[in-house]
Chain A
Amino acid sequence: MYSQGLNQPTEASADSPEQARFQARIDAEDKIEPNDWMPDAYRRTLIRQISQHAHSEIVGMLPEGNWITRAPSLRRKAALLAKVQDEGGHGLYLYAAAETLGVTREELVDQLLSGKAKYSSIFNYPTLSWADIGAIGWLVDGAAIMNQIPLCRCSYGPYARAMIRVCKEESFHQRQGYEIMLTLSRGTEAQKAMAQDALNRWWWPCLMMFGPPDSASQHSDTSMQWKIKRFTNDGLRQKFIDATVPQGHFLGLTFPDPALRQDPETGHWQHGEIDWAEFKTVVAGGGFQATDRLEARRKAHDEGAWVREAALAYAAKRQARKTAA
């Protein structure tokens, strides 16, 4: 998830015998491991996708971290702190998976901090009220779960294993968010209005998390053929909407989409037009919080530099002493 299908199209031609053997292994649901032969394009696609995913987990700590000190109770504060810590953990599992493909952690971090790498556009939206923390857990983590569950069966072993760990932890994220929304929507008029406002602002950006419509995304075919991806963007988006709309109605809230209606035959919820121009602007770092997000990451990285340097210097000194003794 979180990679939003920003990847460039890649060729997966099966012209060499290695490539044919590789594809046969994928077709047989065999997992590809770091030391196995793989086409360069498969490696590149995975490095880009896994690192974008990792960056998204790391940047994703910021909008929620913004509310830790202002959580309305100790219970909420402890939960939010644990959730944000989990997201940091998710970033670390994923960086480690990307590194098995031959890229260093230092390069990956540098790509994020220099603005070269992309991360999910959802984290460039601001968290304006406490209800946003509820909406993020319920909707953003809910969308993430939809995207991440099929990734547990991804053809690349280290990515699939990292996703299994991540998915185990996500359920708590979504439930604590929904509980916040439920409490607010059963509260005072002002609290209910706050929950409605958060849903109004987060709904469309969450639908965009699944990436461009299938008609406009060219890389899906190759990723599907390689079993990096199992469902199309539109397919996952539909699953998310179908699961989420009844949950919103249970809260007594409305969705900011006048065209939203349930197809009586298929049972699927049909949605209105998504504003893809906004999506492109936010992915490209335009408007909203993009500058703040990267600045916050750079500041944390720079201010932690002395700790990393001291730890390495101490380790080197101890090592030298051991060798001398």
Chain B
Amino acid sequence: MSTEITPLWEVFIRSRGGLAHRHVGSLHAADATLALQAARDVYTRRGEGLSLWVVPSNAITASDPTDRDMLFEPTASKIYRHPTFYEVPDEVGHM
């Protein structure tokens, strides 16, 4: 078995002009140049994109799934953050 581990990269693709890059998967490559080339071969064989990003997987800091409620639940009660919370008479028209 190979003793040295080839680093893992996350791949992002901009599928069309005006859209954000979106995560599509990951791959292994020795460095950024090879990661870009591999991303092109593995993830864009059918015109999937116009632009690629590769990011070393270990550079990503992720939130802990067990913190999900603590982080995201409080927004559920803040209904005043949504436009529908506010009454605007019909006569005013679309707002």
Contacts and interface: CB of A to CB of B under 8 A. Distances in A.
Interface string B37-81: 000011001100000000000000010111000000000000000
B6 A308 contact: yes
Given A92-B42, A315-B31, A106 B5 contact: yes
Contact of B45 (A37, A89, A314, A318): A89
B26 interface: yes
Contact of B8 (A93, A99, A161, A309): A99
Interface in A1-56: 33, 35-37
B2 to A, nearest CB: 5
Interface band, chain B: 20 to 34
Interface string A300-319: 00000100110110110010
A68 B7 CA distance: 32
B36 interface: no
Contacts of B28: 105
Contacts of A308: 2, 6, 30
A312 B6 contact: yes
A156 to B, nearest CB: 14
A110 B3 CA distance: 11
B1 A110 contact: yes
A165 interface: yes
A3 to B, nearest CB: 20
A85 interface: yes
By CB atoms of chain B within 10 A, which of A165, A309, A315 has the most? A315
Nearest to B64: A35
Interface residues of A, number: 30
Contacts of B46: 169
Nearest to B1: A110
- Select the residue from A82, A169, A311 with max chain B CB neighbours within 10 A: A311
B25 A311 contact: no
A37 B66 CA distance: 9
A318 B25 contact: no
A273 interface: no
A314 to B, nearest CB: 7
Nearest to A305: B2
A314 B31 contact: yes
A133 interface: no
B25 A165 contact: yes
A107 interface: yes
B30 A312 contact: yes
B34 interface: yes
A106 B2 contact: yes
Given A86-B45, A89-B42, A162-B25, A104 B5 contact: yes
Contacts of B24: 165
A66 to B, nearest CB: 22
Nearest to A168: B46
B4 interface: yes
B25 to A, nearest CB: 6
A4 B31 CA distance: 36
A305 B26 CA distance: 21
Nearest to B3: A106
A36 B1 contact: no
A91 B68 CA distance: 33
Interface string A134-161: 0000000000000000000000000001
Nearest to A319: B31
A93 to B, nearest CB: 6
14 contacts: A35-B64, A36-B65, A85-B41, A92-B42, A104-B5, A105-B5, A106-B2, A106-B5, A106-B6, A110-B1, A161-B25, A165-B25, A308-B6, A318-B31
Interface of A: 33, 35-37, 82, 85-86, 89, 92-93, 96, 99, 104-107, 109-110, 161-162, 165, 169, 305, 308-309, 311-312, 314-315, 318
Closest A-B pairs by Cβ, 6 of them: A311-B30, A315-B31, A110-B1, A315-B30, A96-B26, A312-B30
